[in-house]
Structure 1
Amino acid sequence: MTDVDVLIVGAGPAGLAAALEVRRAGLSVEIIEQRETIGGAIYRQPIAGVRPVRQATGAERRWRALADDFAASGIPVRHACVFVGIDGAGLVLIEDRHAGKIRKVAARGVVLAVGAVEKVLPRPGWQLAGVSTAGGLQVMMKETGRAPGGRVLLAGNGPLLIAVAAQMAKLRNPPVAIIEAGDPIRRFAAGIGLCAYPELVTEALSYLQTVHLHRILWMRAALVARIERREKGLLRAVVRDVRGREHVFDVDRIGLHDGIRPNEFGLPLETAKDASLPVILRAGDCREALGAKAAIADGRRAAGEILERLAGAGWRQVREIARLRRAQDVLARLFQPVDGADPLMRLPDETILCRCENRTVGDLRRLCAGPDTPSGREVKHNGRFAMGSCQGRFCADNTAALMAAPGPDRPPPSPEDLTGRRWPTRPLPIGAFVAAHAEETIPEDEQQD
C-alpha cells in the first residue's frame, strides 16, 4: 500500500520547489514541516500580526514567485510534523506533534530537504547566557519584526554577519560592531571574481550601504578571543586584531557565526539506483549548503531525478547549481580568515566544547593523550562528548577535529564516529510511541479521537 508517491521533508525553498515539480508531473506529493508555516529558515514567516521584515529585492522576488506557485498548487502540508526516520519496512516515521503520536507513511520516494545549520566554533565563554548564533538573531527578527534589544555585537566569519547587521539597522537597533575574521576589502582578486554574479553583488552592496549609513564599525581581520561575564548581566568580548592588539566591547548580547553546513545529522543515506523503494534523495542545503537560490534549483534537480527513477521520465538540472557553487567558492575566498591557523588547536583547556555535558577541550585532550587514540564511540561513552540532549548535533564536528590533532598519521575520525546514523533523528517522547501502538492495537470502532 502506498499513501503518497513522493513525500517531501521540509517546506523550505528546496522542498517547495521539489514538490511543485513532482505535482506538475502528475504524481501525488505531500510535505511534512515541523513548523506551522512554510519558508524554512531563510524565508521564515512572521508570527500573526507582525509585518514581514524586508529582505533584499532579489530574495523577495524569488520567494514571492515560489510562494504564489505553491499556494496555487494545492499540495497538502502536514504542519508540526517532524521526520523521525525510515524503518526496516521502508515506512517513513513522523512525529505528529498536534496529535502526540508517531505516524507511518508509505511512500515510493522521499526527498529530504531540511536545510542547513549554522556553524559556530568554540571560544572561551561562548556558552554564557546572552551568546547565541547570528542566524538565530536573524530568525528572531523575521518572526517578531523587532531587532534584539540592547547593545549587540556580531562576530565570526562570512557575509551573513553583514546581512544581519543591516537588518538590525533597518529595525532601529544597529549592532555596536561586526567582528570579521576575514578581510574582503583587501582580497581584490576574489572581489573581481564576484562580478560574474551580479545578483550577489547587488545584494551585498545593498547591505554594505546600510552598514555604512548607520556607521556600524566593521572590524576586519579580527576575532573574539574570549567572552567574559560582567556585572549587571553584561558580556565583555575581548577582540584581538591581526596585529595582536586587544579591544574590549561591553555588550548585552553577542551573535556568533562561522559559516553554515548541511543539516545532515542522523539523515538516512541516499539510496542507490538499484535499491528497493522508497527512493531517498536529498535536496538543497542539506545536500550542499549553497544558499536559497541554489536550493530552489536543487529541489528541481531532486524532483527530476526522483521522477526518472519512479516514472522513467525525468531531467537533470545541474548547470545552475554548478554556477552557484562557483559563486560560493568566490565568497569563501573573499571572506577567508586572515589568520590561517586552525582556531580549534589554540583553544585553552578550560574552553567548553560540549555544552550539553559541560565537557571541556582539556577533558578531550586528556582522554586522547595516551598512545592509543580512542575511537569516537569510546570518546562518547567514556568522555560523554556528544552524549547530551543534542546527541552531538552541535559538538561532534569540533570534537572530531580536535581528536584528529594528536595523531595526524592516523585516519581522521568523522563526526559520525561519535553520533552514528540511525533513527530516531532526535529524542522523542515515549508517549508518542505508546499512542501510536494503542492506535494500531485497538479496533477502529473502539477508537476515540
Structure 2
Amino acid sequence: MPVSDQSIDLLVVGGGPAGISAARSAAEAGLDVLLADERPTLGGQIYKQPGPGFTVTDPAAMDRQFRQGRALIDSLDGTGVEVLLRTSLVAVEDRRVVLVTEGSAARTVTARRMVLAPGAHDRPVAFPGWTLPGVITAGGLQTLAKTQRVLPGERILFAGSGPVALAFPAQLAHYGAHIVAALEAGPAPRAGDLVRLARAARGNGVLLRDAARYRGMLLRHRIPLRYRRIVVRAEGDGRVERVVHAAVDRDWRVLPGTEETVRADVLCVGYGFVASLELMRLVGCEFDHREDLGGHVVRRDEWLRTTVDGVYAAGDGAGVEGSFVAIDEGRVAGLAAAMDAGVLSAADAAAAAAPARRRLDRRRALSAATARLYRVGPGVYELSDDDTVICRCEAVRRRDLAPAIASTDDINLVKGYTRAGMGPCQGRICQRQVAGLIARHHGRPIEEVALATPRMPVRPVPIGALADHTIQGPTLFLAEDAAAEDGTKP
C-alpha cells in the first residue's frame, strides 16, 4: 500500500445526506474529520447539485430538494471538516485506507474510525430491450434533469415502484417532460392503507403532503398512474420506440394475456434501490436481508456500529430508507464515533441523539404503514429471456449463464465460468440478476444466495494512480531496479 501521509480521528465515506450529517456532528463534538466522496459535488443522489461549470443565479427558482441539499452542504462551513471530492476509497486494510482522487496518485490515510455512508443505486432490472438507447434508470435521468437541465426524449414512460413511482414522474413533469404514463408494480392503496397512513402521520406531515402534492401534479398533467403493471420489454430499431407492459400478481409475476404496447422514446426504470455494499463487505461486516430495504443490509446496533470494531454505517448504504432517515442516522453515527473516541460522554451523546432517534421512530412507523404497497416482488428478477444480456460489461446473455447455473448455486463459480460480474462495474449491475436466476433455478429464496467475494479495488481507477513509486511490497520492484539490472538508466 502507499506510504501513509495522514492520520485522522474519523473518515466519512460518502458525501450524501448521511455522510454530511455524520461529518458535521462528529466535527462539532471535537473529532478531526475527513469526508471523501467520488462525485464532483456534495449532496449525493437525492440532493444532487449542478456540477462544475454551472452557476445557480436564482436558488429560489430551483426545486425544494436543491435548496435543502444546499443548506445541508453549507452546514459544513466552519466545522473544520476536510472535504475531498472526486475521491474514491479503493482499498482498506485494518485502519489504513487507500484513497484515489481523480487525476492524482493514491494516498493512504490512517483512520481511527470510519463512518461508511456510500448510499445506494437503482435496482437493476433486466428485461428484453433494457440495453437499448433510451432505457435509463431513475437515477440517471435525475442526473440529466437536475444537474444538466436536459430531458432525453419527447415521450417518456416511467415504470417502477415505491415512493419514486409517484414523486419522480411528477418532478419530471415539473421540468417540462411529457410523461405518457407512470406504471407502479405494487398495488393501489386501499382503505386500510389510508388508515395506517393516518395513524403514522405524526411527525411525517411533510412527507405525506409531498405525496399528496405529487399525486395532484400527476392529475394536473393528466399523467395516468396505473398499478400492478410492470415492463415486459422495450422495442425499437436502434433505440426505444415502443414499450410493452403487463399486469402482475402480488409477487410481480406477469399475468398472461395482459400485455399492452405504448409508444415512447424514453423508458425510465425505477424499481427501488439497492445499497452499495462493497466497502462494508470488504471490511468484514455482517449482513441481514430485507429486499424492501435494498436486499442485503448491514447489521448494526442502536448506535449504528457494525460488527467490525470502529466502523459505523449510516444512510441508504445501510438500508434504503430515504434522505430524512439518512440525515438522522448520520447524526447518530457521528455522535457515536465521538462518544467511542472519548471526546463526548455517554450522557451527552444520548441527549444529543434523542431528537434524531424520535424522528427515526416516526419515519419507520410510516415505512411500516406502507409495507404492503412497497413490497418488492421476486418477479422483478424473472423478466429476462434467453437472449437478454444480463452482464452488460462482459456481454453475457442469460443463455450463456444457464449451463453454469444448472451445475452450481455458487455465484462465485458462475462468475468464474461466465465472467458475469468481472467487468468495470464489478457486478453492481448484474449480480442481483444472476442471484435471482440462481434462486429461481434451484428453488431457493434470493436471500439464501450468497454474494460474490468482494475484491479490491472497490472502484475502477487508472493503473497509474496505484502503480507509482510509493507502492511498497516484497514482490514488487521499481523502474530504477530494473534499469540497474540491465545497466541502463530509467
Alpha-carbon separation, structure 1, partners of 2:165 and 2:306: 43
Q: Deviations over 1:338-386 (max 9, x none)?
A: xx6624346432222212222223332332224xx25222101112221
Residue of 51, 55, 59 corresponding to 1:49: 55
Residue of 288, 313, 323 corresponding to 2:345: 313
Q: Is the 8 A contact 1:21 1:303 kept in 2?
A: yes
Alpha-carbon offset, residue 103 of structure 1 = 0.7
Q: Is the 8 A contact 2:187 2:373 kept in 1?
A: yes
| Equivalent residues in 2 for 1:64-143, closer than 5 Å | 64-88=70-94, 90-99=95-104, 101-143=105-147
Q: Deviations over 1:256-312 (max 9, x none)?
A: 111112111243235999999982221111112110000011001111221222116
Q: Deviations over 1:116-161 (max 9, x none)?
A: 1111321111111211101211122110234333211111212213
- Supply the AA of the counterpart residue of 1:362: R
* Identical residues among aligned pairs (%): 32
- The verdict on how the C-alpha distance between 1:387 and 1:309 changes in structure 2, with shifts beyond 3 A counting, is same
- The verdict on how the C-alpha distance between 1:313 and 1:121 changes in structure 2, with shifts beyond 3 A counting, is same
Q: Which residue of 1 aligns with 2:197?
A: 194
Q: Is the 8 A contact 2:436 2:446 kept in 1?
A: no
Alpha-carbon separation, structure 2, partners of 1:213 and 1:188: 24
Figure out how many residues of one structure are paired with residues of the other and give that number: 430
Aligned to 2:114, the other structure's residue is in SS state strand
The alignment status of 1:257 with 2:270, answered yes or no, reads yes
Q: Which residue of 1 aligns with 2:297?
A: none
- The verdict on how the C-alpha distance between 1:116 and 1:20 changes in structure 2, with shifts beyond 3 A counting, is same
The alignment status of 1:17 with 2:56, answered yes or no, reads no
Q: Is the 8 A contact 1:227 1:237 kept in 2?
A: yes
Q: Which residue of 2 aligns with 1:446?
A: none
Q: Which residue of 2 aligns with 1:284?
A: 315
- Supply the AA of the counterpart residue of 1:257: G
Q: Is the 8 A contact 2:127 2:383 kept in 1?
A: no
Q: Is the 8 A contact 2:232 2:383 kept in 1?
A: no
Moved more, 433-442 or 70-79: 433-442
| Equivalent residues in 2 for 1:293-442, closer than 5 Å | 293-311=324-342, 313-314=345-346, 315=349, 317=353, 318-336=357-375, 342-345=379-382, 347-370=384-407, 373-408=408-443, 414-416=449-451, 418=452, 420-435=453-468, 437=470
Alpha-carbon separation, structure 1, partners of 2:308 and 2:449: 29
Q: Which residue of 1 aligns with 2:181?
A: 177
Q: Is the 8 A contact 2:47 2:68 kept in 1?
A: no
- Supply the AA of the counterpart residue of 1:384: R
- The verdict on how the C-alpha distance between 1:356 and 1:217 changes in structure 2, with shifts beyond 3 A counting, is same
- The verdict on how the C-alpha distance between 1:234 and 1:408 changes in structure 2, with shifts beyond 3 A counting, is closer
Alpha-carbon offset, residue 412 of structure 1 = 6.4
Alpha-carbon separation, structure 1, partners of 2:109 and 2:313: 18
Q: Which residue of 1 aligns with 2:294?
A: none
Aligned to 2:157, the other structure's residue is in SS state strand
Alpha-carbon separation, structure 1, partners of 2:242 and 2:233: 8
Q: Give the gaps of 5 or more residues in structure 2.
A: 249-254, 287-299, 480-490
- TM-score of the pair, normalised by structure 1: 0.86
| Equivalent residues in 2 for 1:221-232, closer than 5 Å | 221-230=228-237
Aligned to 1:428, the other structure's residue is in SS state coil
The alignment status of 1:63 with 2:69, answered yes or no, reads yes
Aligned to 1:70, the other structure's residue is in SS state coil
- The verdict on how the C-alpha distance between 1:327 and 1:295 changes in structure 2, with shifts beyond 3 A counting, is same
Alpha-carbon separation, structure 2, partners of 1:65 and 1:310: 28
Alpha-carbon separation, structure 1, partners of 2:193 and 2:67: 27
Alpha-carbon separation, structure 2, partners of 1:194 and 1:330: 6
Aligned to 2:320, the other structure's residue is in SS state coil
- The verdict on how the C-alpha distance between 1:336 and 1:55 changes in structure 2, with shifts beyond 3 A counting, is farther
Aligned to 1:435, the other structure's residue is in SS state coil
- The verdict on how the C-alpha distance between 1:436 and 1:77 changes in structure 2, with shifts beyond 3 A counting, is farther
Q: Is the 8 A contact 1:227 1:238 kept in 2?
A: yes
Alpha-carbon separation, structure 1, partners of 2:446 and 2:140: 35
Aligned to 1:406, the other structure's residue is in SS state helix
Aligned to 1:23, the other structure's residue is in SS state helix
- The verdict on how the C-alpha distance between 1:377 and 1:72 changes in structure 2, with shifts beyond 3 A counting, is same
Q: Which residue of 2 aligns with 1:447?
A: none
Alpha-carbon separation, structure 1, partners of 2:448 and 2:329: 29
- Supply the AA of the counterpart residue of 1:265: E
Q: Which residue of 1 aligns with 2:226?
A: 219
Alpha-carbon separation, structure 2, partners of 1:179 and 1:361: 26
Q: Give the gaps of 5 or more residues in structure 1.
A: 443-449
Q: Which residue of 2 aligns with 1:210?
A: 217
Alpha-carbon separation, structure 1, partners of 2:446 and 2:403: 20
Residue of 239, 252, 269 corresponding to 2:284: 269
Residue of 163, 166, 183 corresponding to 2:170: 166
Alpha-carbon separation, structure 2, partners of 1:352 and 1:329: 36
Aligned to 1:122, the other structure's residue is in SS state coil
Alpha-carbon separation, structure 1, partners of 2:358 and 2:318: 16
- The verdict on how the C-alpha distance between 1:289 and 1:298 changes in structure 2, with shifts beyond 3 A counting, is same
Q: CA RMSD in A?
A: 3.0
